[in-house]
Structure 1
Amino acid sequence: MPNKKILCIDMKSFFASCAAVELGLNPLECYLAVVSDTKRQGSVILAASPRLKKEFGIRTGNRLFEVPKHSKIRIVNASMSNYLKRSIEISQLLNEFVPIEAIHPYSIDESFVCLDGTERLWGTAGEAAVLIRNRILQQTGLPSAVGIGPNMLLAKCCLDLDAKIDGIAEWTYGDVQKKLWSVTPLSKMWGIGSRLESTLNRMGIVSVGQLARYNRELLEKKFGVMGAQLYYHAWGIDYSELGAPNMQGQVSYAKGQVLLRDYNDTKEIKHVLLEMCEEVARRARQAGKAGRTVSLGVGYSKTEGAGGFHRSKTIDAPTNVTMDIYHVCLELFAKFYRHQTVRKLSVTLSNTCDDNQYQLNLFDSGYEKRRKLGYAMDQIREKYGSTALLRAVSYTKGGTAIERSKLLGGHQA
């Protein structure tokens, strides 16, 4: 089995810690919550400091109105530009310990680092982890936790299940049966979400140990390639290479958003869909691609008991024209929408090819003009900003493009 020295480094309550440092507070001692918008009581909690989590039970995903009115508690708006700046600073710091190719940023607040070949410089993996953790704290004031393992999977599981409690922890293959197999519910293991967990539970699998002892062929029959991966992961086996791409090139272009409020007006929902189709088409054009399969996802509000649908349609010729994609979405929407309150929308263009492979249609002489117009609009937006050219729907009550143009990563910059 691969037996590398991999660190999985996580910044504790990253957004909240960054905000605390900016305010001159101790991230581990203060009571602070970061929200998407302090002016909206239904605003989502994006991060809570460790003390706020422990003593008041406030966690990521709670709403602002759930935070107690207490003099100790500070509520601040998100500042995504500041968080990105800190994240880059931490990556640059890690580069002082290992080459850039040995660093794999997993998210804005989490990175994998391969220490192989650095033993003479920094000592054992545990000693290097202490050095890195102390340097991050000294340079940025941000606390972190480090999981160490022989591969990315065990380093991540070690972080999530041990290191976030103790600060630094290390797992080997010898720890799998004792520490990994006892994990339940299954969603506590990296790579297993709530839906997959429910499916596995229905198969009689409720712990990682049971997953490891399940018949591999039956898992493969049920889940395909992912079934084999689940089986091997339950044994702590992971052949992933640090920083290796999952696939060569992007095969789809998508836009999804959680709406700022519930939408129950069909006309307003269509306005947002048009804006999203515009963004998907723009991303495809930027890559010089066009696609034949259009997918529409609609998620209903919790007031409707959640739920929704996700449907796709493949058209005859590839396209990256906004209105072509929009008309397919309208067709899917009309067929599957049941007039319920909508809170989430997604549009995807897949089954892609290079945009120089399209075939002219004798019955649609205007396609080439529409295609060139899309590229011309992209050039104007690239030069003058994303709001330099907007469709009229963006100025309606249901439009979201103007408001979202002020955001970074979906939150205030």
Structure 2
Amino acid sequence: MSTYLRLSTEITRLFHRYVPKESIHTYSVDESFLELDGATNLWGDAQIVAQKIKDEIEREFQLPCAIGIGPNMLLSKLCLDLEAKKKGVAEWTYEDVEKKLWPLSPLSEMWGIGRRVEKTLNNMGIFTVGQLARYDLEKLEAKFGIMGNQLYYHAWGIDLSEIGAPIMEGQVSFGKSQILLRDYTEEEEVKNVILEICEEVGRRARSSKMAGRTISLGVGYSKDEFGGGFHRSRSITNPTNITMDIYRVCMELFHEHYQKKTVRQLSVTLSNIVPDESMQLNLFDPELPKRRELGYVMDKIRYRHGSRALLRAVSYTPGGTAVYRSKLVGGHKS
């Protein structure tokens, strides 16, 4: 993984030959967006620049790559995923939307639509991007809020966000899913890992100065149990990003739905997101401000001294995973 990250950095340096750093957005370790406005006068049109970059990556790193070209981030990403990965270099325009994008199904193949949103859309009778584009906008907004508005316009290939902005404006949730290293048969061990995951979800929310009102817990059983599991959510009155508040709700859901089976996968999500300032003082919980501040202090210590600088005791039990995972780079052995 360390070699993978080093090569990724070197390839990003190659992009600087064609555009300034403010025109580069590293989307993931192996994908980047480049804005070519102003650079085409120097290097040629987008097709020429794409081919130059592709040839240089292959010559200097002996690596193949694919490049999708579009008038905005959305179409360039869709072009990459749906056509360029087969051809090497491809370009989409707004005129291509009806022919190339609208037939797309299942909906989760479209960038920005996950399995849960796809399921909800399917229940509404929407199975292709074309059906989404022709669906009543007001009904989509009533169902999904601002996300419904964006889903509608993205189905038409319209994306007004600037380079570096997410596909859906604003973070709609913070979550973490973990496939366990082994089957967990002991209930106490499962609870320990859930607490570790809640810690990470709370940290991610705090890093964006956000809190959430809806907490979801997912538990997947092992193959020895013939799979299955559950995914349940619960909303609370006051938004939170405090680890133990998230964990308390997860324990409520766990005790209500856990069937004493062997566990192999866990997930926790914090959604219904609002700014951290929305966390209200509670006369019956005078320690709330201190607990809120404690989370930020712990985050600062970990940021400065590493994730292992401050761990909960459960992470040092046989079922804990945080110590092992802290040695990984990007989730993999380095």
**Map of 1:301 onto structure 2:** 221
The reply on whether 1:190 has 2:190 as its aligned counterpart is no
Give a deviation string over 1:154-204, Cα, whole Å, max 9, x none.
212222222111111112222222222333333333233344444444444
The reply on whether 1:143 has 2:143 as its aligned counterpart is no
Identity of aligned residues (%): 55
**Map of 2:40 onto structure 1:** 119
TM-aligned CA distance change 1:164 to 1:319, over 3 Å: closer
**Map of 2:234 onto structure 1:** 312
Give the 4+ runs in structure 1 shifted more than 6 A: 284-287, 360-367, 370-376
Query: By how many angstroms is 1:339 displaced?
Result: 2.8
The equivalences for 1:211-290 within 5 A come to 211-244=132-165, 254-280=175-201
Instruction: Please give the secondary structure, in 2, of the residue aligned with 1:338.
Output: coil
> Which residue identity does 1:265 align to in structure 2?
E
**Map of 2:276 onto structure 1:** 353
- Range that drifts further, 304-313 or 126-135: 304-313
The gaps in structure 2 that reach 5 residues or longer are none
TM-aligned CA distance change 1:397 to 1:178, over 3 Å: same
> Which residue identity does 1:240 align to in structure 2?
S
> Which residue identity does 1:162 align to in structure 2?
E
TM-aligned CA distance change 1:197 to 1:359, over 3 Å: closer
Query: By how many angstroms is 1:206 displaced?
Result: 3.5
The equivalences for 1:11-410 within 5 A come to 79=1, 81-244=2-165, 254-280=175-201, 291=211, 293=213, 295-301=215-221, 303=223, 304-314=226-236, 320=242, 322-348=243-269, 351=274, 353=276, 368=290, 381=302, 385-410=306-331
Query: By how many angstroms is 1:283 displaced?
Result: 5.5
TM-aligned CA distance change 1:95 to 1:310, over 3 Å: farther
Q: Distance in 1 between matches of 2:207 and 2:118?
A: 38
Q: Distance in 2 between matches of 1:219 and 1:85?
A: 43
Instruction: Please give the secondary structure, in 1, of the residue aligned with 2:158.
Output: coil
Query: By how many angstroms is 1:373 displaced?
Result: 6.8
TM-score, normalised to structure 1's length?
0.67
Give a deviation string over 1:343-372, Cα, whole Å, max 9, x none.
3333456655359x885868767984x778
Higher Rg of the two aligned structures: 1
Query: By how many angstroms is 1:105 displaced?
Result: 1.8
> Which residue identity does 1:353 align to in structure 2?
D
Q: Distance in 2 between matches of 1:294 and 1:331?
A: 13
- Range that drifts further, 81-90 or 371-380: 371-380
Q: Distance in 1 between matches of 2:292 and 2:324?
A: 27
Q: Distance in 2 between matches of 1:284 and 1:366?
A: 17
Q: Distance in 1 between matches of 2:35 and 2:135?
A: 32
Q: Distance in 2 between matches of 1:227 and 1:371?
A: 32
Q: Distance in 2 between matches of 1:391 and 1:134?
A: 49
Instruction: Please give the secondary structure, in 1, of the residue aligned with 2:320.
Output: coil
TM-aligned CA distance change 1:192 to 1:315, over 3 Å: closer
Q: Are the counterparts in 1 of residues 140 and 149 from structure 2 also a CA contact under 8 Å?
A: yes
Instruction: Please give the secondary structure, in 2, of the residue aligned with 1:410.
Output: coil
**Map of 1:48 onto structure 2:** none
Give a deviation string over 1:223-274, Cα, whole Å, max 9, x none.
44333333333322222221236667x7876544222223232111111123
Q: Are the counterparts in 2 of residues 318 and 358 from structure 1 also a CA contact under 8 Å?
A: no
TM-aligned CA distance change 1:375 to 1:231, over 3 Å: closer
Query: By how many angstroms is 1:144 displaced?
Result: 0.6
TM-score, normalised to structure 2's length?
0.80
TM-aligned CA distance change 1:377 to 1:236, over 3 Å: closer
Q: Distance in 2 between matches of 1:374 and 1:301?
A: 31
> Which residue identity does 1:228 align to in structure 2?
N
Q: Are the counterparts in 1 of residues 102 and 130 from structure 2 also a CA contact under 8 Å?
A: yes
TM-aligned CA distance change 1:251 to 1:389, over 3 Å: same
Q: Are the counterparts in 1 of residues 240 and 246 from structure 2 also a CA contact under 8 Å?
A: no
C-alpha root-mean-square deviation of aligned residues, in Å? 3.6
Corresponding residue pairs, total: 329
TM-aligned CA distance change 1:377 to 1:205, over 3 Å: closer
TM-aligned CA distance change 1:100 to 1:185, over 3 Å: same
Q: Are the counterparts in 2 of residues 147 and 168 from structure 1 also a CA contact under 8 Å?
A: yes
**Map of 2:332 onto structure 1:** 411
Q: Distance in 1 between matches of 2:331 and 2:108?
A: 26
**Map of 1:17 onto structure 2:** none
- Range that drifts further, 190-199 or 359-368: 359-368
Q: Distance in 2 between matches of 1:222 and 1:323?
A: 31
